[in-house]
Amino acid sequence: MQKCTATAQFQRSWRDLHQLWPIPTSRGRSDPRGLSVIAGNVVTVTQNQDIDRLLRRQHGAVSRGQLRERGVNANSIDTWVRRSRLRRILPAVYSMGPPSLATRAHAAHLWQPKGVVSHLAAAHLWKMAVDEPAVVHLTVPLGMVRTSPTPWLRLFRRDTPRTRRSTVGGLPVTDVPRTVFDCLALLDDAACAALLDHATATLTSERALRMRYLEDLGLRGSPRIAAQLVSLVPGAASAPERLLAQGLYSAGLTNFLVNEPVHGYIADFLDPALRLILEVDGYRTHGTWLAFQDDRARQNVLVAHGYTVLRYTAHDVQTRLESILDEVTDLVARISQQSS
């Protein structure tokens, strides 16, 4: 609904601009129909449609230079700004209607063409698991502008080679691994876990992130990135599973595989050497009668093949994780002792 409203406002603003202030060219006087009278002959002028397409492509953002290149004279631009048909949101950069995040991101790039959208703004454009930020993050090359002219734009100074860039919606943005790493420095642990889980499920892989981390080792924020990558749980199907996986890793129980096939079923956590399986049952997927029957049939098959199965509810994991880890640690020690 918000997107539709913004689109309607943009369309009304552009329609009003066409009707009230027809665009004059620098070569002739304007005509109310959007035509230009040149040497007494009426010829069609296409810059209205050109600007219309430009504004749509840039989500309502446009620079003074772009308007001048399309034949709009300086007096007309100043008139539109004075009459609030265009909003100045950055030096020599304007917005048609209320600016959205995409509008501001395009405006930031028009203001600093060598900059690249980064951090949370890039994550939102990549459709990662982050809320729409109130601030646009733009990374500019070292030695360029040092201060932002507006509170909604935050600048970072770092050289971004082409191999670390991509394009989303016509905007230059940091690529997925760099965007993930930039965000890890700004988010809390829970948001970092959600971001990593979403990114590795839809946009990249755990291996790609770890390789990029090694390539970029030494950049600012590397210790924070390393700490978050340790807790990365590829394949975890739910938040309780991620929580338990992180707890197992922290407790030194590093042999468990996540969502591993075994005898026709998928074990939430499997230690193949010890033939030990941990299951996390959420009410949403395990609270029906059919799920109840399937869980018992699966457990019987696994036990019959010599596996030990421990079952915990999602509520258990979220409320008494430490005691669960103690139970698993004790059981691992007993099985290991019996096997030796």
| pLDDT classification of 255: cutoffs 50, 70, 90 | very high
Residue 198 in domain: yes
Residue 5 in domain: no
> Tokens standing for 301?
């098959």
Angle between helices 239-250 and 189-202 (to 10 degrees): 110
Question: Where are the extended beta strands (E) located within 113-237?
Answer: 116-117, 136-140, 153-157, 165-168, 171-174
Residues 222, 118 share a domain: yes
Residue 74 in domain: yes
Q: Decide: helix, strand or coil at residue 49.
A: helix
Which residues fall within 8 angstroms of residue 134, CB to CB, at 6 or more apart? 152
The domain total for the chain is 3
0.95 cut: is pTM over it? no
Distance CA 267, CA 309 (A): 9
Residue 7 in domain: no
- b or e along 217-249 (b: 16 or more beta carbons within 10 Å of the residue's beta carbon)? eeeeeeeebeebbebbbebbbbbbbbbbbbbbe
Residue 93 in domain: yes
Residues 94, 107 share a domain: no
Residues 226, 108 share a domain: yes
Residues 272, 211 share a domain: no
Nearest residue to 253 via CA among 317, 307, 333, 176: 333
Distance CA 102, CA 45 (A): 29
- Angle, vertex CA 181, rays to CA 175 and CA 186, nearest 5: 120
Least confident of 88-92, 216-220, 319-323: 216-220
Specify the higher pLDDT residue, 11 or 62.
62
- Tell me the average pLDDT across 310-333: 91
Residues 173, 256 share a domain: no
Q: Domain ends where: 98, 127, 157? A: 98
Q: Give the HSE-up count for residue 12: Cα atoms under 13 Å, Cβ half-sphere.
A: 8
The per-residue pLDDT for 238 is 64
The per-residue pLDDT for 338 is 86
Residues 127, 67 share a domain: no
Q: Domain ends where: 203, 230, 257? A: 230
Residue 42 in domain: yes
Residue 255 in domain: yes
The per-residue pLDDT for 273 is 93
> Tokens standing for 241?
């599973």
Residues 246, 176 share a domain: no
Phi and psi angles of residue 257, each rounded to the nearest 5 degrees, phi first: -95, 145
Residues 54, 85 share a domain: yes
Q: What is the CA radius of gyration of the chain?
A: 28
The per-residue pLDDT for 220 is 63
Which residues fall within 8 angstroms of residue 160, CB to CB, at 6 or more apart? 116, 118, 139, 141, 174, 178
Distance CA 185, CA 220 (A): 9
- What does DSSP say about strands 165-168 and 153-157: parallel, antiparallel, or unpaired? unpaired
Residues 75, 61 share a domain: yes
Residues 146, 207 share a domain: yes
CA distances in angstroms from 222 to 16, 56, 212, 246, listed in the order given = 51, 39, 11, 20
CA distances in angstroms from 92 to 15, 67, 112, 161, listed in the order given = 22, 10, 11, 27
38-51 confidence digits (pLDDT tens): 233 322 333 468 88
Domain span at 306: 239-339
- Tell me the average pLDDT across 141-153: 89
Residues 93, 110 share a domain: no
- Percent of the chain past pLDDT 70, that is, above it, reads 75
Q: Domain ends where: 69, 98, 127? A: 98
Residues 243, 207 share a domain: no
Residue 68 in domain: yes
Q: Considering all CA atoms of the chain, what is the largest pairwise distance in Å, rounded to the nearest integer?
A: 102
154 touches 169 (CB < 8 A): no
